[in-house]
Amino acid sequence: MFHVSNICRNYSFTSNIAVQVRNKAKTHWAKLKKKTSPKYKALNHFDDFYASVFGSKWEPMRQALLRGSKYVAVVNNYGDAEETIEYLTHRGAHCLKNLMKVQQEFHKEYSPKSADPPPINNTNKLQEYVNRVQSEDISSLYPEGADTPDRLSFKDKKPDGNERILHINKSDGEGKQGMNYPTSESQLDESRIIDPSMGMSSEVLYQYIPATKLKGMDEWIPESLHYSYYSTDKDFPLVIEPETEFQIPEHLKVYTYEMDSEYHKFPEPKRCKTGVFNYYPMDCGSVLAVLALCLSPGDRVLDLCAAPGGKSLVALQTLLPDIVVCNDTSISRHNRMERIFNDYLFDFKTSNKWRERVLTTRVDGRIYKDDQGFDKVLVDVPCTTDRLSVNEDENNVFRPDRVRERLKLPEMQSQLLTNALRLVRPGGAVVYSTCSLSPVQNDGVVHAALKRAFEEYGVLAAVKDLTIPMSALSSTLLLASGDIAPRYGQLVLPSVSANFGPSYLARLVRIK
């Protein structure tokens, strides 16, 4: 006969064992999840890709990306501006315009004048990486020792629903450039195409591909396609000129902490007497994208991918544009943009003046049309958002269900930039920006868009070299230089001492 006390002891002993086993399993599951989560995949991908491009300079950038980002404070001119400036100064922040002025004077007095540096050629390192990825793509579809092709052809759909043939070359990595290559000109290798409509009886399935590696080509995009957009072919007029107009507008007040400061974030903004917030915290790279527009009084400005609205807000804080058109296709992001404008622009909801000056639209930026044209166009495209990708799983572009979207990013980015070049008036400027370190999404997209705009629409644009004006920021943030500097734009590198970015921006001025 068992006593109740014995039963309780036995139950307690059994419960302890169960708890230990469950805890052990939970620990194992957590480690497993960490290794397979989107942010882990993103970091793994960047370790492979960026280490190939940036070499030893990638490691300090990696450390900075995994730390808390730094911000600047954009003072709201529609609130208590003077009080806000006094508050920020008291906290040890400095005016960005003053810092740039001091640095410019220092460069003029102490920097030795030297001959123009030789052109940067970072193509070889990237091409070697692209060739390796392309070889891995083809090898993944063919058993070891099989007769692998030099080119892999497969079907995909254009945004308009029409079919196109895409090629990946194993040997030279040059493939037919991207998504705009016409099907009529393709040399289709019929024996290599895997089409689900052929059914399981097709001999091609057994001849070339093991059953464990079977992939339907309507669902599969090779990793190497993402990198095929990086090209340096000079088969169109390419004009690169020094920029002379860049400066911070008089009424734009931006405050930041010094390098190596213990502060990297500002306190939460507070409401002013007018009901709006006193300043807007944001990455300095985002502010630079607006500065690169070189806004003038009376400008008609388009922010093609505007949400959540921070850059449009900075443009309005300059008090220069007559009209700012803020476009974004996402309903949720569009609503967030409206809330930000309401929080920072006095009487935004009820004033007709704002409704005439700030226009919001929800149109796909690739097909956006306008009869009047714009003086300035900002194209802050969707990208791999490197810092977010290595720190957050939510909404991460490296999620398994977003693979196709990630691999086709350069196509969408080049289409957005090409349309922006069509929308801007001759003499007007387009600024292209990302928050990625990827040369493919940065210089690669700029090159592809310049080429397409010229060949398909007769639009010629000059690249404005911002190296000299951006050098005034050397005491505030870290810009890529030397063998890792981009050719067409400026790249803000994450740094432990000044953890802004990553941000890339390129200024293009339409000639005709």
Handedness of CA 486, 491, 497, 501 (dihedral sign): negative
CA distance 268 to 358: 26
Which amino acid does the sequence have at 511?
A: I
Residue 305 annotated in active site: no
Partners of 282 in the beta sheet? 72
With a CB cutoff of 8 Å and minimum separation 6, the contacts of 250 are none
CA distance 116 to 354: 47
Taking each helix axis from N to C terminus, what angle separates 38-54 and 4-36, rounded to the nearest 10 degrees? 30
- By the 10 Å C-beta count (0-12 exposed, 13-18 middle, 19+ buried), 456 is classed as exposed
- 354-389 as b/e, with b when 16 or more CB fall inside 10 Å? beeebebbeeebbebebeeebbbbbbbbbbbbbbbb
Active-site residue, from 284, 305, 326, 435: 435
How many Cβ atoms are within 10 Å of 2's Cβ, its own excluded?
Answer: 7
With a CB cutoff of 8 Å and minimum separation 6, the contacts of 276 are 76, 78, 79, 343, 344, 345, 346
Instruction: Give the helix/strand (H/E) hosting 95.
Output: strand 94-95
CA distance 472 to 248: 11
Cis peptide preceding 117, ω within 30 of 0? no
Q: Decide: 443 and 457 in contact? Cβ < 8 Å.
A: no
Q: Tokens for 216, please give them.
A: 């339907």
CA distance 152 to 167: 6
Q: Alpha carbon of 68 to those of 9, 64, 257: distances in Å?
A: 50, 8, 14
- Tokens 């009487």 sit on residue: 347
Angle at 439 between CA 470 and CA 173, to 5 degrees: 150
Q: Where are the beta strands (DSSP E) in 417-457?
A: 424-434
Partners of 155 in the beta sheet? 165
Give alpha helix (H) positions in 37-188: 38-54, 58-65, 81-90, 96-110, 123-141
Which residue numbers are catalytic?
Answer: 435
